[in-house]
Every structure is written in C-alpha cells, then in structure tokens.
Amino acid sequence: MSQQGGRPAGHSDDWWGQLYDDSVEDTGPAPTPDSLDDRFASASDAVTGGPPAPPPRVPAPRGGQAPRPQPPAPSPEAPARSPDAPAPRPGVPALRPGVPAPRPESPVAPRPERPAPPPERPAPRPEGPAATQPERPAPQPGGPVPQPGGPASQPGGPASQPGGPASQPDGPIPQPTPAPRPPHGPTVSTTGSPAPPPPPPPPPSQPPSPDTSPPAPPTPTPLAYVGSGPPTYDPEPTALPAADPDDLGDLVPDTVLDGARYGTCTLRAVSVRGDSARYRGEPRRDALLTARFGTGDQALLLVAMATGARATPRAHRAAAEVCQWIGRAVGRSHARLAEDIRAGRRGDLKSGLHRLTDRSLGKLRAGAADQGLRPEEYAATLRCLLLPADPQCRTRVFFGVGAGGLFRLRDGGWQDIEPQVVEAAGEPVVGFGSPPSETPEGDRLTMDLGIPTPPSPFEPAPEPPREPFRFRASVARPGDVLLMCTAGLAEPLRGEPELPAHLTERWSHPEPPGLAAFLADTQLRVKGYADDRTAAAVWEA
C-alpha cells in the first residue's frame, strides 16, 4: 500500500486491490471462520480452555452471483497442508486451521503491555444482506481490535486466514498473536487443553500410637578390671618373646581360642598370656590342646591344659610336650575310654587315666634328664577333661595333676568342685580326691611304669616331686556350666568375689557366649593376678 501521491508499490498494491476491489468477484463463504474476532476467540479458548465460539454468520454473495465451489474439507485423520508451506518438524505437532501454534513447554514470562493501537480507519460498510449482521462484542483490553466487516484494515494488519480462499500460497502463514498469560496463571498444555488439576494435599497423618512394648534391657558395658584398683601392667601386649632363627617352631602365640558343639554340650576354650609375661616379653607358659577322636556318637573330646614351671627357660616347651603326650595316649585308647564313660565304670576310668597321666609325666622327667636339668626345672601341671559326643551321655570326666581349679555354675551360684587330696574318713568316695589305698574297684595310688630314674649329681639323690592324682566324674544337669582352668584364673576366682559375680551375670543365659565374648570374659583383669590364664567351659543344653 503506497502513500498518497506516490507510485504504486507493485506487488503490494496488487494484493490490496485484489482483496478490496469491487471488480473482483467475491470468493464466497470460507469453510472456517476467518475474522479477527474468530482468531481472538480461538486463541482465548486455547489459553483459558473455554468452549469454542459459535460459527459467525457469513453474508450472502453480492450481486446474486453463485458461490464458487469450495474444496473439500480436510479429514481429521489427514489435515490439509499448503504445497508451499514448510514441512512440519519432527516432534512438533502439525498446525490446523483455527488452532494457535503450540507453545513451548518451558515457562514464558508475561509479555509487557503493548501500546494502544492507532485510531481505526472507518471501513466501508457492505451493502446488501451483510449490513444486517449483528455487532460483534468488543475485544478485551490489550487484545487485537476486530473489524465488523472482515480483516483489520489498518496498515500492517494480518493477512487472510490460512487455508482460506484468499490465502497467498507464496508467503509464510502468519500466526495469530495469543493473549498474554497471567504471571501466576495455570499451566496450559501444548495441545490447547488445560493441564490436569494438581493432586489434593494428603490428609494429615494420624499421630503414632504409643509403643506399649517393654523397653529392651540395656547391654552391659564390659568391664576393664575388677578389684581394689587398676592393674599395674598395660592391658595389651607390649613386648614379643625372643626368637631363635633356627627354631622358629618353638614360638608360642599370645592367645589361643577354640570351640565346638557336640551332643548336648557347647565347648569354649582359651589360653592367654598373662600381663606380666606380656610386659617382660616372655613366652606364654600355658599350653592348650583340644582334640576329637573318633566319629559320630562314638567320638570323644579331649581338652588338655598344662602350665610350665615358673622362672625356667623351657617352661612353655615342657607344657606343650606333656599335652601332646597325654593327647597321644588318650587318642590311642579313646574307644575303650568312651565305652567306660557311657557304661559308668568309674573305677576302670580312674585307674586307666591315672596310668596314662603317670606315663606322660614320666616322659617329661626323662626329657629333663636328657637335657641335664633337674626334674623340677622341666615339669608342668596337667589338667584334662573328657566329653563324650553321645547326646544320651552327660558324664563329664576330669583328671589331672597339679594346681588349678574346677568349678560349676548351677542355679545361679558357683561351686568349687576341685577334688581334694586329703585323706577322707570311712569308705573312699570315687571322684573325691585320691583314695589312700586300693579300692574295691581296683584303683591304685601308684603304678610301676618301668621308667628308670636317672642318676642325680646330688647325694643323697632327692626324690622326684610327685603331685597327687586328681579325678572326678560327675553327671551334668541341663543349664550347668562346667569350668576347668589353670591356677592363673583359679586364684582370682577364689580370691576376688567380684570376678565370679561378673561371670555369673555373663554366663547365666541359655545361649553360650561366642568365642570373642568368652575371650573378653576370661581375660577380665584383677589387680595382683598377672599370670597366664587358660580355661575351658562347657555349657549344657
């Protein structure tokens, strides 16, 4: 469109004349609404989700001319597209007539208010039936200004509706300007339908019901020591024993821990170096042996522990040798020993075990002579426990020589059942010390094992030290705890009341403690007692 007095603009004037010149025949009614109001209503419905506006009345053609045939309406399945229109991009929905272009899903900031449009130019009112067309409602503030007679007549107005009869195939399809979105309005989907409302807030949670279960009992804190004060030595090892590069097999570990479960009994065994030996770098003088001989219900368990003589250089070796010798002797005779235990032949058991013990200690004395040592310099105490694997047999047999302890925890209290070595009045009682003479069962105090006594450099030659033999066979009850230990643990159990009280609290539960818990219980420190500790406990199911 050119200014007044200027030359026509060519293509622009042709477009204006073709659209508004009376000499051009009317194209007839459009298949779809094609006015600014219709575009505004379509954009408003897409934004607010309201019902579609009713189709406007189309004026009859002027001059009584017949309308031109219209192209068939595009089907919903395959919408028509202009041959020169750009191909739709993948992922972008196709544009349909009367539907605004989809908006991106990203939030769009509200557009600033546009300046007021210029004053309208009066458009010529059509003559004929079109003059009776009712007035259209006034547009909302900020929106495009509709014209009652058709498209906007001001310069720069939009072109005809895409897909209509007067659309230009050469130019791009103009898009209607959507109404501005409110700053905090509802989210609108790209398909023109309103987004689903947000889910309702969850109902307020009910207050938790009070817990009526009884509180769990507090876990007892392990004690570091008992007695009048803390022990003198450090609780952990300080120095290692000296090692001989040519005899590394002679090294003794600081701690030995073992356990098993057979029949109705559960076994826990431990041997720990004392605080004094840990501080001075001396080897552990206690030795521990746990062994099983046989299989099935005929099996026999042996727990042997020994303590070497104090202040002697080879005390740990003597303790280890006597454990190996008694273990070898019991293993070779385990079948008969297991049969005697199940049958209750206490006399045969005592005499046979006495013989095996004297034979093992005799070998130890012979080894002292071979090394040029006095018998008391290469000696050891010995304590053993025999446990049959048969669940129908609850007989527990103890035997040994030397100091130590044998205790039983029954009905919440400790019993010292160590066999005494004093002479008892009346008939000898099997299992209570050593009888003074031969018993009706055939038990004998001493036996001639045929071991020669080595010559002694001292005159007159002193008699070798002979410890009395100790034996006890007892029947266990369900819930009993039988404890056999060396003097390193037996002495504080008898001398410090807090130690047995602590063990009573720890070992009175139906389930026996694990290996780590048993180790912590047995090495509870007591001031004034720093020797090695070796113990074996049996829990009866």
**Max CA separation in the chain (angstroms):** 164
What phi, psi does 266 have (nearest 5°)?
-120, 130
Whether the per-residue pLDDT at 532 is higher than 60: the answer is yes
The dihedral of CA 449, 450, 454, 459: what is its sign? positive
The dihedral of CA 73, 76, 78, 82: what is its sign? positive
**What angle do helix axes 346-370 and 334-343 make, rounded to 10 degrees?**
150
Residue 359 and residue 333 in contact, taking contact as beta carbons nearer than 8 Å:
no
Question: CA 382, CA 487: separation in Å to the nearest integer?
Answer: 11
Question: CA 525, CA 419: separation in Å to the nearest integer?
Answer: 26
In this predicted structure, which of 116-120, 276-280, 500-504 has the lowest mean pLDDT? Answer: 116-120
409 - beta bridge partners?
Answer: 414, 481
pTM for the complete prediction? 0.55
List for the chain the helix, strand, coil content (%; round to 5): 25, 15, 60
Whether the per-residue pLDDT at 186 is higher than 60: the answer is no
Tell me, what's the pLDDT at 442?
Answer: 44
| Residues 91-108 pLDDT 10s | 444 445 444 555 544 444
Round the CA-based radius of gyration of the chain to a whole number and report it: 55
Tell me, what's the pLDDT at 111?
Answer: 54
Residue 140 and residue 48 in contact, taking contact as beta carbons nearer than 8 Å:
no
473 - beta bridge partners?
Answer: 397
Task: Work out the mean pLDDT of the chain and round it to a whole number.
Answer: 73
Q: What six digits make up the tokens of 42?
A: 């379509």
The dihedral of CA 131, 134, 139, 144: what is its sign? negative
Tell me, what's the pLDDT at 54?
Answer: 58
| Residues 108-158 pLDDT 10s | 445 555 555 555 555 555 454 444 444 454 444 444 444 444 444 444 444
Residue 389 and residue 299 in contact, taking contact as beta carbons nearer than 8 Å:
yes
Tell me, what's the pLDDT at 39?
Answer: 79
Task: Report the pLDDT averaged over residues 282-286.
Answer: 96
| Termini Cα distance of the chain | 111
- Higher-pLDDT residue of 127, 288: 288
Residue 386 and residue 301 in contact, taking contact as beta carbons nearer than 8 Å:
yes
- Helices and strands: H and E segment counts in the chain: 9, 13
Residue 537 and residue 257 in contact, taking contact as beta carbons nearer than 8 Å:
no
- Over 364-379, what HEC string results? HHHHHHHCCCCHHHCC
**What angle do helix axes 315-332 and 346-370 make, rounded to 10 degrees?**
140
What phi, psi does 149 have (nearest 5°)?
-100, 5
Cβ atoms < 10 Å from Cβ of 342 = 15
Question: CA 539, CA 514: separation in Å to the nearest integer?
Answer: 12
Tell me, what's the pLDDT at 346?
Answer: 94
Task: Report the pLDDT averaged over residues 26-41.
Answer: 67
Question: CA 345, CA 343: separation in Å to the nearest integer?
Answer: 6
Confidence band, pLDDT 50/70/90 cuts, at residue 167: very low
Question: CA 170, CA 172: separation in Å to the nearest integer?
Answer: 7
395 - beta bridge partners?
Answer: 475
Peptide bond into 460 cis (omega under 30): yes
| Residues 248-270 pLDDT 10s | 988 999 999 999 999 889 999 99
Domains and CATH numbers, the chain: 228-243+250-419+465-540 (3.60.40.10)
Whether the per-residue pLDDT at 428 is higher than 50: the answer is no
Question: CA 306, CA 316: separation in Å to the nearest integer?
Answer: 9
388 - beta bridge partners?
Answer: 300
Residue 96 DSSP one-character state: -
Cβ atoms < 10 Å from Cβ of 467 = 15
Classify 19 in phi/psi space as left (phi over 0), alpha (psi -120 to 50) or beta: alpha
Residue 482 and residue 538 in contact, taking contact as beta carbons nearer than 8 Å:
yes
What phi, psi does 238 have (nearest 5°)?
-110, -55
- For 37, 55, 154, 164, 369, the CA distances from 137, given in Å and listed in that order, are 9, 14, 19, 23, 131
Q: How far is CA 507 from the centre of its chain?
A: 29
Cβ atoms < 10 Å from Cβ of 399 = 24
Question: CA 430, CA 446: separation in Å to the nearest integer?
Answer: 16
What percent of the chain stands above pLDDT 70?
53
Tell me, what's the pLDDT at 199?
Answer: 62
Whether the per-residue pLDDT at 178 is higher than 90: the answer is no
What percent of the chain stands above pLDDT 90?
43
Residue 131 DSSP one-character state: G
Task: Report the pLDDT averaged over residues 36-45.
Answer: 79
Task: Report the pLDDT averaged over residues 295-323.
Answer: 94
Q: What six digits make up the tokens of 386?
A: 């025999």
Q: What six digits make up the tokens of 516?
A: 């780590």
| Residues 444-487 pLDDT 10s | 433 344 445 555 554 444 455 578 999 999 999 999 999 999 99
Question: CA 275, CA 238: separation in Å to the nearest integer?
Answer: 9
Residue 348 and residue 340 in contact, taking contact as beta carbons nearer than 8 Å:
yes
Whether the per-residue pLDDT at 161 is higher than 50: the answer is no
Residue 117 DSSP one-character state: P
Task: Report the pLDDT averaged over residues 233-252.
Answer: 90
- Higher-pLDDT residue of 299, 187: 299
Whether the per-residue pLDDT at 429 is higher than 90: the answer is no
* Residue showing tokens 């071979």: 370
Tell me, what's the pLDDT at 485?
Answer: 98
Q: Among 138-147, 332-341, 415-424, name the most confident range.
A: 332-341
Q: What six digits make up the tokens of 35?
A: 């006015």
Q: What six digits make up the tokens of 258?
A: 């073992």
| Residues 515-527 pLDDT 10s | 999 999 999 999 9
Question: CA 164, CA 70: separation in Å to the nearest integer?
Answer: 10
Residue 153 and residue 121 in contact, taking contact as beta carbons nearer than 8 Å:
yes
Q: What six digits make up the tokens of 528?
A: 């004034």
Whether the per-residue pLDDT at 283 is higher than 60: the answer is yes
Tell me, what's the pLDDT at 477?
Answer: 94
